[in-house]
Chains A and B, each alone.
Chain A
Amino acid sequence: MLEVDGLEAAYGAGAVALAGASLTVGAGELVALLGPNGAGKTTLVRCIAGLVRPRRGTLRWQGRPLTGVPPHAIVELGIAVVPEGRRLFGGLTVEENLALGAFTPRARAGACARLEAVYALFPVLRERRRQLARTLSGGQQQMVALGRALMADPRLLVLDEPSLGLAPRVVEAIFETLVAINRQGVAVLLVEQNVHLALAVAHRACILEAGRVAREGPARALADDPEVRRAYLGPLAAARP
């Protein structure tokens, strides 16, 4: 569904953030995108969202090129992004935040039913629907961010570091929800620093290093790979089978 091929991007004239990154996400797949800080993960997400225009390479969505399509039109095409740090509209209520997720004409059609579905997924949001988003806890804010993206009725959900700054128990709950969403047929591209958890839920994983995909394969195989274990799970983990 999503094909990224030889993507190059840089900020301003200076630092190269992506140096020929290629990856694909198939229909219904859950792909983890891993890699150290500064590897270009967020830049790749921003390219997919249309916020950064790549210098070279192609982005295709369902066979059609995505380059030059404005961000709001990309949402309309079925790609929803949950940005790093959640980026809620803090002065708006929970329900207003969620409703804005269904802003595009296509998403507006079934917005009421989808709002119910989001509330079913996260009952606490229904209780707090009149509350300003900035007054929620971090975990609840992540629920709103995820819910807002789901309101767009995406076929591909892209999440940038959803576990950042959240308690382990909350992270587990969010990931469980992600798996459930994926089982309903929504493809997921999951950018994560929490390698262990990401590899546990993903079908496939790509490891981004210095702007290009250094390794790629089934999540299980990468999780068992001693080199990956040493690099991302620490020296102690590398020894274990």
Chain B
Amino acid sequence: MTVLQQAVLGLLLGGLYGLAAAGLSLIFGVLRVLNVAHGELIMLGGYGAFWLFALAGVDPFLALLVVVPAALLAGLALYAGLFRFVVAAEEETRIKNSLLIGFGLGLALHAAAVRLWTADERAVTPAWAGGALTVGGIAIPLVRLGALAVALVLIGALHLLLARWRWGHAIRATAEDREAALLAGIDVRRAYALAFALGTALAGAAGVLVSTGYSVSPAIGLEWTLKALIVIVLAGLGSIFGTFVGGLVLGLAEAASAAAFGGAYREIVGLVVFFVVLLVRPRGLFARA
């Protein structure tokens, strides 16, 4: 594979990193709660698409129309059933307790997925999945290109929601200053619930897209949580597009390392980037000072 080909594939995967991270970043930025089961939610989104395809023959890109609303509702339920009890605590307790809840939830979802779908890797492969666009000798797989396009559209939609919608303003205000939001008459518990649900919906969407161009197994959860965390550290909090670009950067960095040292070091490069950014720009590449 040429270097350019690797870079293109890296960017395509990076778009999904960005989407996964945007959801986690939204939740963390607004609730100050770290949901380490985010990757497991992505995994479940993937299985949602897998089931819809295997049982009903639904094209994965159409499955988004089912999985994303379902993930939104699941997010509301998870907030109401679990994370609601954490957000009342002080900042430090909040983070610690959310980590415990997240790990527990992640383990439970992982075990449930093994039961439901076995530990095998699954991928959703509709008839057109093998197609590729060839530009100047570089092959661009159609499903992965479609996944990147959908990721971009979703990021844009989230941006519009936060910029135009009344509750979008409320979510941003709550992220900036919870108490001032309360004093403005915002029911911050609702802002929390909405932000959590939106973040989870993005996880569901990311899962569907992962199931198309890549593969899904019960074990991918932790890996995706880790990628999302790396991207958040890379990009910093507060800018959705910044987060998305952070995902692209990680995808490219992984591709570059694969080209330079072979695929074996692919997983390590993200952690190295993580470490370097923490040393050099601890607030993230795109965060405002």
Residues of A within 8 A of B (CB): 49-51, 70-72, 75-76, 80-81, 83, 87-92, 96, 99-104, 107, 148, 152
A104/B185 contact (C-beta < 8 A), A89-B173, A91-B172, A92-B173 known: yes
Check B89 for interface membership: any CB of A closer than 8 A.
no
Interface of chain B: mostly helix, strand, loop or mixed: helix
> Interface stretch among B13-21, B175-183, B218-226?
B175-183
0/1 string, B164-195, CB within 8 A of A gives 1: 00100110110011011111111110000000
| The residue from B169, B179, B182, B185 contacting A92, defined by CB atoms under 8 A apart | B169
Q: How far is the CA of A83 from the CA of B169 in the complex (A)?
A: 20
- The interface of chain B, by Cβ under 8 A from chain A, is 166, 169-170, 172-173, 176-177, 179-188, 238
- When chains A and B are docked, how far (Å) is the Cα of A107 from the Cα of B176? 22
Give the distance to chain A from B123, nearest Cβ to Cβ, in Å.
40
Q: Which 6 A-B pairs have the closest CB atoms?
A: A75-B185, A87-B180, A71-B182, A104-B185, A103-B185, A72-B187
Find out whether the CB atom of B185 lies under 8 angstroms from the CB atom of A152.
yes
Which of these, A70, A83, A90, A102, contacts B176 with CB under 8 Å?
A90
Cα A107 to Cα B181 with chains together (Å): 15
The CA-CA distance from A99 to B163 in the complex, in Å, is 13
A80–B183 alpha-carbon span in the complex (Å): 7
Q: How far is the CA of A223 from the CA of B117 in the complex (A)?
A: 79
A-B CB contact pairs (8 Å), 21 listed: A51-B182, A51-B183, A71-B182, A72-B182, A75-B185, A83-B179, A87-B177, A87-B180, A87-B183, A89-B181, A92-B176, A96-B169, A100-B169, A100-B173, A101-B184, A101-B185, A102-B185, A103-B185, A103-B186, A107-B185, A152-B184
A114 to chain B, nearest CB (A): 13
- Bound CA span A82–B65, Å: 44
Pick the most buried of A51, A75, A87, A100: most chain B CB atoms within 10 A of its CB. Answer: A100
Cβ-defined partner of B186 (8 Å) among A72, A91, A92: A72
Residues on B with beta carbons closer than 8 Å to the beta carbon of A80: 183
Which residues of chain A come closer than 8 Å to B186, judged between CB atoms? 72, 100, 103
- Neighbouring B residues of A91 by C-beta, 8 Å: 172, 176, 238
Residues of B contacting A152 with CB < 8 Å? 184-185
Roughly how many angstroms separate A69 CA and B133 CA in the complex, as a whole number? 60
Write the nearest CB–CB distance from B263 to chain A, whole angstroms.
40
A159 to chain B, nearest CB (A): 12
Q: Min CB distance, B250 to chain A, in Å?
A: 25
> Is the pair A72, B185 in contact by a Cβ cutoff of 8 Å?
yes
A214 CA / B51 CA spacing, docked (Å): 71
CA distance A87 to B182 in the complex (A): 11
B157 to chain A, nearest CB (A): 19
- Give A92 to B162 CA distance when docked, in angstroms: 11
Chain A residues with CB below 8 A from B187, complex form:
70, 72
Contact A100 B179 (CB under 8 A): no
Query: In whole angstroms, how far apart are the Cα atoms of A50 and B170 in the complex?
Result: 19
Across the interface, B185 reaches (CB within 8 A) one of A51, A76, A87, namely: A76
Contact in complex: B176, A103 (CB < 8 Å): no
Measured in the bound complex, the distance between the Cα atoms of B178 and A49 in whole Å is: 14
What are the residues of chain B within 8 A of A51 when measuring CB–CB? 179, 182-183
Closest partner residue, chain B, to A81 (CB atom): B183
How far does the Cβ of B10 sit from chain A's closest Cβ, in whole Å? 31
Query: Are B183's CB and A103's CB within 8 A?
Result: no
Across-interface contacts of B184 in A (CB, < 8 A): 75, 100-101, 103, 148, 152
Of A72, A96, A102, A104, which is in contact with the most chain B CB atoms at under 10 Å from its CB? A72
> In the complex, which of the residues A102, A103, A104 has the most CB atoms of chain B within 10 Å of its own CB atom?
A103
Q: In the complex, what's the smallest C-beta–C-beta distance from B249 to chain A, in angstroms?
A: 23
Q: In the complex, what residue of chain A is closest to B190 when comparing beta carbons?
A: A72
**In whole Å, how far is B130's beta carbon from the nearest beta carbon of chain A?**
45
Collect the chain A residues with CB atoms within 8 Å of residue B238's CB.
91
Residues of B within 8 A of A92 (CB): 169, 172-173, 176
B169 / chain A contacts, CB cutoff of 8 Å? 92, 96, 99-100
Q: Are B188 and A72 in contact (CB under 8 A)?
A: yes
Specify which of B177, B180, B183, B188 lies most central, judged by the most chain A CB atoms within 10 Å of its CB.
Answer: B183
Rounded to whole angstroms, the CA-CA distance of A91 and B238 in the bound complex is: 9
* 20 further A-B pairs in the complex, CB-CB below 8 A; given A92-B172, A96-B169, A103-B166: A49-B183, A70-B182, A72-B185, A72-B188, A75-B185, A83-B179, A87-B177, A87-B180, A87-B183, A89-B181, A91-B172, A91-B238, A92-B169, A92-B176, A100-B169, A100-B170, A100-B184, A102-B185, A104-B185, A152-B184
B172 closest partner in A (C-beta): A92
Instruction: Name the A residues within 8 Å of B177 (CB-CB).
Output: 87, 89
Instruction: Kindly state the separation between the CA atoms of A104 and B181 in the bound complex, as whole angstroms.
Output: 11
Which of A70, A83, A102, A107 interacts with B180 by CB under 8 Å?
A: A83
